[in-house]
Amino acid sequence: MTERTVTIDVHKDLFGANEEAAAENAELFSQSGIQAFDIMGSVGTGKTQLIESLCERLKGKFRILMVAGDLATRIDADRVAAHGVDTVQINTGTACHLDARMLRVALADVDLSEYDLIFIENVGNLICPAGYSLGVEKKIVVVSVTEGPYMVRKHPLTSKRADMVVINKIDLAEAIGFDMDALVSDVREVDASIPVFKVSSKTGEGLNDLIGVLEL
């Protein structure tokens, strides 16, 4: 009996081209005075709800565009649009992440001078979105207390490549006996200095700290 594990890097050859496209996006954002944020995380961590809460707090002060990555639906974009925020949906078909060229194509007909902030909700997936730069200001990984305790340990590269970690749904932590300190120390093990925010998009707890560090 053998038990083999083979590691395959399917994305290897794609990274170079993506980095070039990301640099072009970054240039475009900077010319238009836009701050863009790439919000990554598994399905069900509350990425959309986090964006909705941020939009509610920030829409009076900034002109916001939300870009939603999803395989097939507009569900998340529609939720954010209900807050009076402009949205662009990218339906990726089979692709489990956004890349810089998809973002470029999606924004081709958008007048970027009309916006100050772009929140990009990446495809629900904790693995490859982290490997693809989009040319944004910050990559934010959202994990939540309802995903079980090992999300960070099992996906260390995601936290490593992100600029900050948001632990969402902290309002549920006590009820399910979630060990927040253990999760934070998992993050610390991956990256000793990455900022970690504990928030509840539902109650609003912790959101002001997050907004503060985003320098918004």
- Residues engaged in binding Zn ion (CB under 5 A): 96-97, 128
The helix/strand/coil state of 100 is helix
CB of 128 to Zn ion, least distance (A): 3
Task: Name the residue with tokens 């040319």.
Answer: 135
Contact at 8 Å (CB) between 49 and 149? Answer: no
Tokens representing 81 are 């649009």
User: Cα dist. 113→35, 92, 101, 156 in Å?
Assistant: 12, 26, 20, 37
Select 21 or 166, whichever has its Cβ closest to Mg ion: 166
Select 70 or 99, whichever has its Cβ closest to Mg ion: 70
CB of 10 to Zn ion, least distance (A): 9
CB of 63 to Zn ion, least distance (A): 30
CB of 44 to Mg ion, least distance (A): 8
Rule CB under 5 A: which residues touch Mg ion? 47-48, 76
**CA angle 193-197-199, nearest 5°?**
170
Contact at 8 Å (CB) between 44 and 126? Answer: no
- Name the binder of 139 from Mg ion, Zn ion, none, CB < 5-8 A by kind: none
* Residues contacting 196, CB < 8 A, separation 6+: 164, 165, 166, 167, 184, 187, 188
- Name the binder of 96 from Mg ion, Zn ion, none, CB < 5-8 A by kind: Zn ion
- Name the binder of 200 from Zn ion, Mg ion, none, CB < 5-8 A by kind: none
Select 23 or 43, whichever has its Cβ closest to Mg ion: 43
Residue nearest to Mg ion (CB): 48
